[in-house]
Structure 1
Amino acid sequence: MQSIVDTVSLPLFYNQLAALDSVVHDGFRFEPVRRPADLSRQNVVPLLGEEFAPAGRFYPVVFSSGDRPVPIAVMGLDTGENRFVDAQTGAFPRGLYVPAYVRRYPWLLAHRPGDGELILCFDPSSGVVRAGGKGGYPLFADGGPSPALSRIIAFCHTFEAAAARTENLVRHLMELDLLKDAALDIRTEMLAHAPAYAGFRIVDGARLLDLAPARLRDMAHDGTLQWIHDHLKSLDLMETLYGKRRGRRPARIARALRSAVRIANVA
């Protein structure tokens, strides 16, 4: 059985990290954000809880396995293949939802050693930040962040706040034992060796319904129940994703394959 999800170690896509400094980088400019170089070879991308609804319209939303599960958008069943982005440019087709984790790159807020203050960092290998020249946007103006850099800083802080809420969701799911291991089980007589994909978790709907009414009311009030609903609804897209893997097939076979794809529990 092949694992859909390799170990997700953050920060994904980042090769290096350098702290942005108003003295060191005075006069530097940056280009509009580019997509991570490895995006076309990444079959899963981390998600924030608020993104379950918009991302779940296009990608199955599941949780990684391991001691610290991470919500992820599944963009390909096979490791090293992203079925949605352009293999050369890493660009998403127009109209497709782009996860905030991708939009944040190459910027990142990190805790400074010593005082723990959050500082803005970037990946120097991205080629986004450069010394002088024309084009792009200035990093600093009048001794402070430029308007363009201020927008990036604001986005990164918004991202961190949403990430904290997402971590709370995962912690609650773990405490309530609501996450279960699952597999994508392909069953059809047309495939001599039916593939199966594992390595991910989903919310156990039966256990969710067994929760005390007061707990469910609290989850409905803080929005996490809606996030769980969006996650479960997105699982229907697994068969669509499998169809992308199989490529073009005669309509008769395609219909049979779609009816054969299901999410199975892992004993």
Structure 2
Amino acid sequence: MATQLLFYEKAAPVTFKDHGDLSVKTGGTYGFARNVNSVPLTAVEFSAAAAAYPIVFAGEGDAVMPAVILGARAEENLFVDEDGRWSGSYIPAFVRRYPFVFSSSDEGKQLILHVDESFEGCNRAGLGERLFDSSGERTQYLQNLLRFLQEYQGQFARTQAYCKRLKDLDLLQPMQAQFRIAGGEERSVSGFHVIDREKLKAVETDVLRQMFDTDELECTYLHLHSLRHFNDMVQRLAGSSPEAETGTDDGDAAATDAAEPADETV
């Protein structure tokens, strides 16, 4: 459940010299995300994402971030079909920002916009949206894109603060999801954490109030509620077969019976 650049293969800094005639056509396919079983999530997305996917916490140390689980094994995304269409009710911002991404320099003081030149929608035939006009100025599309990525970067920083609080309170515990589908095949997803319900109950009232005021408590309950979607994943795996079952090995953390950016200046 790595949360690195995932589907980015050839990210290059956006410049007029290299991309003055580049156009980008997005939204037609999400085939680039077909081989990832999780993607990072920011806290502001919890409400929408919790309605469709299990939300967990992936990574170690200061690199812990929320993520949505998309598949029951490595290189499997159950929400992208053979034609590259996304079948989930919500598309995470990490996916929507592709093929663009920020990288940081000068110890994070400067953000540099990159584009994955390997993306099939990148072209020099005028299909989609231009990044620069003929005089070298940013197009409205690029301006809007930069605002979107700046907002994403701000939400990413706020999400890091939320994860730090969870770690400081020692609320995260390891979890493994196990799946049994028709025919007896078994799969498992591990390497992530969930919030320990019992430890959450023991958090002091003044800290809970702080979490309530910052919407962190709401995110916490949305995360816990979202874990029920591990059962939905079994249905996607087995075509709603009654023989499919799911289980978790963390006790109360996800008690069910049947059953992981960085990156402006151009």
TM-score (norm 1): 0.82
CA distance in 1, matches of 2:220, 2:34: 28
Structure 2 CA distance, aligned partners of 1:47 and 1:139?
A: 26
Conserved? CA contact 1:36–1:106, under 8 Å: no
Q: Mark the runs of 5 or more structure 1 residues left unpaired by the alignment.
A: 1-5
- Cα distance in structure 2, aligned partners of 1:149 and 1:60: 33
Instruction: Tell me whether 1:79 sits opposite 2:74 in the alignment.
Output: yes
Partner of 1:240, secondary structure, is: helix
1:208 to 2:203 alignment? no
The structure 2 residue matched to 1:69, chosen from 30, 50, 64, is 64
Superposition TM-score, scaled by structure 2 size: 0.83
Q: CA shift at 1:114, angstroms?
A: 8.5
Point out the more displaced range, 215-224 or 55-64: 55-64
The RMSD of aligned alpha carbons is 2.7
- 1:185/1:27 CA distance change after superposition, 3 Å: closer
Say whether 1:18 aligns with 2:3: no
Q: Distance in 2 between matches of 1:187 and 1:34?
A: 34
Percentage of matched positions with identical amino acids = 27
Query: Which residue in the other structure is 1:244 paired with?
Result: 236
| Cα shift readout 1:13-59 (whole Å, capped 9, x = no counterpart) | 11122111134433332223565544112111111111111111111
CA distance in 2, matches of 1:192, 1:23: 56
SS at match of 2:248: strand
1:104-144 deviation per Cα after TM superposition (whole angstroms, max 9, x unaligned) = 0010112246894212111111143333x333222123542
- Residues 123-162 of structure 1: matches in 2 within 5 Å? 123-131=116-124, 133-141=125-133, 142-162=135-155
Deviation, 1:217, is: 0.3
* C-alpha distance in structure 1 between counterparts of 2:3 and 2:39, whole Å: 11
Distance 2:158 2:53 in 1: 21
Where in structure 2 are there 5+ consecutive unaligned residues? 252-266
Aligned to 1:100: 93
Please report how far the alpha carbon of residue 70 of structure 1 lies from its aligned counterpart in structure 2 after TM superposition: 2.4
Task: Give yes or no for contact 1:36–1:126 (8 Å, CA) kept in 2.
Answer: no
- Measured at CA, do residues 187 and 127 of structure 1 come closer, stay the same or move farther in structure 2, by a change above 3 Å? closer
User: Are residues 1:227 and 2:212 paired?
Assistant: no
CA spacing shift, 1:199–1:40, aligned 2, 3 Å: same
Tell me which residue corresponds to 2:50: 56
Asked whether the equivalents of residues 99 and 119 of structure 2 are also in contact (C-alpha less than 8 Å), the reply is yes
After superposition, give the CA deviation of every residue in 1:42-91 in whole Å (9 maximum; x if it has no partner).
Answer: 111111111111111111111125333221111111222211111342x2
Quote the Cα distance in structure 1 between the aligned partners of 2:112 and 2:190: 37
Moved more, 155-164 or 135-144: 135-144
Q: Distance in 1 between matches of 2:13 and 2:40?
A: 23
Match of 1:265 among 243, 250, 253: 250
User: Is the counterpart of residue 32 in structure 1 residue 14 in structure 2?
Assistant: no
Structure with higher Rg: it is: 1
